[in-house]
Amino acid sequence: MTLTGKMLIGQQSLSGHRDAIRAINPATDTPLEPAYAGGDGEQVEQACALAWDAFDTYRETALADRARFLETIADNIEALGDELVERASAETGLPSARIQGERGRTCGQLRAFARTVRLGEWLDVRVDTAQPQRQPLPRADLRQRHIALGPVAVFGASNFPLAFSVAGGDTASALAAGCPVVVKAHSAHPGTSELVGRAIAQAVKQCDLPEGVFSLLYGSGNEVGIALVTDPRIKAVGFTGSRSGGVALCQAAQARPEPIPVYAEMSSINPVYLFPAALEARAQALAEGFVASLTQGAGQFCTNPGLVIALQGAALERFITVASDLLPGCAAQTMLTPGIFSAYETGVSTLAKHAKVAAKGLAASGPNQGQAHLFVTQAQAFLNNEHLQAEVFGATSLVVECRDAEQMRLVSEHLEGQLTATLHVDEHDLPQARALLPVLERKAGRLLVNGWPTGVEVCDAMVHGGPFPATSDARSTSVGTAAILRFLRPVCYQDFPDALLPHALQHSNPLLLRRLLDGQREA
Ligand code: NAP
């Protein structure tokens, strides 16, 4: 497919009117063709108007038809073949194998949402039948289902050019819920975005859906993004990226005459706890696992283990020594964009001013290559110094040495909200781990035992979320099928004649849903 540099507004390909962006191949620091001219307010308005026009039709599509649409998107993405892998790899510096894996995850995710749509559990149908004889007052017939919120604005992530971008988790969950989607492409991978955007637009046509179900806009410099979030027809936002970007979008959404929810996934340092018995028994294996998790994908995962917390002593020294011996063998890796590389360098040099450098990876041998770093500090210094608590996006981690369990608890209480918290424990550590659990449950969206936080399974039980600043709304997840719930709201129908009720709520239960009927779950 020839890349055109054009936006997709419904089924139309249009050139933007604002300054053009070109992707940069971060491995060579060279720009890639074509240029993508940014959209303006009028084009945002056009996309939102189409999305609004599509909304009432799209949200009432039969479950099987909507599921088929999601599956068709997945089929179309797979049909793009090597072209997609090559372009995504050139635009991000990520190896082809990683992009292929991510493509599998993206398509698997779309198909998982198709299964979820077909099951219909998300409609959460509740029926309280009328009780006309009830004393002292009769009860009306009350029926509840969930409907889609409205058109959703999606901001793709730089670090997952497929799985969290144009057809990624936010788009898939919003489409599954019945919401049209307008994507603001990430400026770091516009060509990948165009390829995937065309695959979605083609699926819209194949499935005979209203064209406004999907649009794709370009634009850097925040104009398009802010115009999108403040358009009155947009009813929710999905975002993955920087803390400053997420907070700016939340503020813009809250300042609207009609405020809307923003589901922003932003910043997390993902504490890893090494409890004494586990550390004593397997410091070497823990250090090996830690270095592998830390350096995977140049550390550019939102769940990268940026903080290690343990009691000081000989076992922790062994862990630090082994990790420090391994790190110099780890090659510097190309980071996603020159901007992300430069932010990494700044973050590392700030840490170096406030903590001891324990080890460094191999020095860079090409442009935009991040060198891995391991720092060590004392718990008291960590508690007193906010520079030590900030996320450094990349392969850098800080070991915090605690005097005792109480200081470990204090450090934990001091942490901001996190996507994950990891506990390495043996049998003897369980009482100490149990004592810390209430703190960690308050801090993080996912708690893991004897594993590593990188690698997020897309499944029904996953929670990829957590209190601020991990996300802007801890009540939901952005990964896994429960992400559909972010884009729904309940509506109750009182005393409706059957013929006027939506199918999901009709007396005969034509969709065969497992309803909550008069307080009992149907089989
Ligand atoms: P970003 O700068 O926040 O950009 C994400 C998207 O939001 C882009 O499309 C960007 O537009 C847009 N945007 C950012 N600020 C905006 C604003 N104030 N108004 C309107 N739109 C705005 O994130 P990034 O470029 O992917 O990475 C930068 C940093 O974010 C990294 O160094 C890292 O610290 C963090 N990050 C975190 C995660 C995570 O999973 N937690 C993932 C990736 C990055 P443009 O396309 O014009 O830039």
Measure 245 CA to ligand 1 centroid, in angstroms.
6
Average pLDDT value for residue range 174-183: 98
> Which whole number is the average pLDDT over 250-259?
98
pLDDT at 1 over 90: no
Ligand 1 center from residue 111 Cα (angstroms): 27
Q: How close is the Cα of 295 to the center of ligand 1, in Å?
A: 21
Task: For a ligand 1 pocket test, name from 21, 44, 158 the mutation site with the most ligand atoms within 8 angstroms of its C-beta.
Answer: 158
Contact 77/199 with Cβ under 8 angstroms?
A: yes
Q: Whose CA is nearest to atom 37 of ligand 1?
A: 241
The residue to mutate among 155, 166, 242, having the most atoms of ligand 1 within 8 angstroms of its beta carbon, is: 242
Q: What's the pLDDT tens digit per position in 61-82?
A: 999 999 999 999 999 999 999 9
> What value does the mean pLDDT take over residues 395-411?
98
Q: Which residues contact 270 (CB under 8 A, 6 or more apart)?
A: 303, 304, 305, 306, 307, 418, 419, 420, 421, 422, 453
Examine the pLDDT at 523 and tell me if it is beyond 90.
no
List 48, 107, 179, 302, catalytic entry: 302
- What letters, b where the CB count within 10 A reaches 16 and e where it falls short, cover 460-481? eebbbbbbbbbbbbbebbbbbb
Name every protein residue with a CB atom under 6 angstroms from any ligand 1 atom.
155, 157-159, 184, 186-187, 220, 222, 225-226, 240-242, 245, 248-249, 265-267, 302, 340, 343, 391, 393
Residue 302 is a catalytic residue: yes
Judged against a pLDDT cut of 90, whether residue 221 lies above it is answered with no
Closest C-alpha to ligand 1, atom 40: 302
CA of 201 to the centre of ligand 1 (A): 25
Question: Catalytic residue among 102, 211, 265, 391, which?
Answer: 265
Is 94 a residue whose pLDDT tops 90?
yes
Structural domains of the chain, with CATH: 8-131+139-266+475-486 (3.40.605.10), 271-449 (3.40.309.10)
Whether 235 has a pLDDT exceeding 80, the answer reads: yes
Return the residue whose CA atom lies nearest to atom 15 of ligand 1: 245
Contacts by 252-260 with C-beta closer than 8 Å and gap 24+?
A: 252/226, 253/229, 255/230, 256/229, 256/230, 256/232, 257/232, 258/232, 260/229, 260/234, 260/235, 260/236
pLDDT given at position 272: 98
Mean of the per-residue pLDDT values for the chain? Answer: 97
Q: With contact defined as beta carbons under 8 Å apart, do 458 and 107 qualify? A: no
Q: How many other C-beta atoms lie within 10 A of the C-beta of residue 317?
A: 13
Q: How far is the CA of 374 from the centre of ligand 1 (A)?
A: 25
**Tens of pLDDT along 113-122?**
999 999 999 9
Which helix or strand (DSSP H or E) is residue 359 part of?
Answer: strand 356-360
Query: Long-range contact list for 502-507, CB < 8 A, 24+ apart?
Result: 502/60, 502/145, 504/120, 504/123, 504/125, 504/145, 505/125, 505/127, 505/143, 505/144, 505/145
Measured in Å, residue 156 CA sits from the centre of ligand 1 at 9
Q: Whose CA is nearest to atom 14 of ligand 1?
A: 245
Whether 33 sits among the annotated catalytic residues: the reply is no
Give the pLDDT confidence of 473-493 residue by residue, as tens digits.
999 999 999 999 999 999 999
Average pLDDT over residues 397-419: 98
From atom 47 of ligand 1, which residue's Cα is the shortest distance away?
220
Average pLDDT for 98-102 = 97
Predicted TM-score of the model (pTM): 0.96
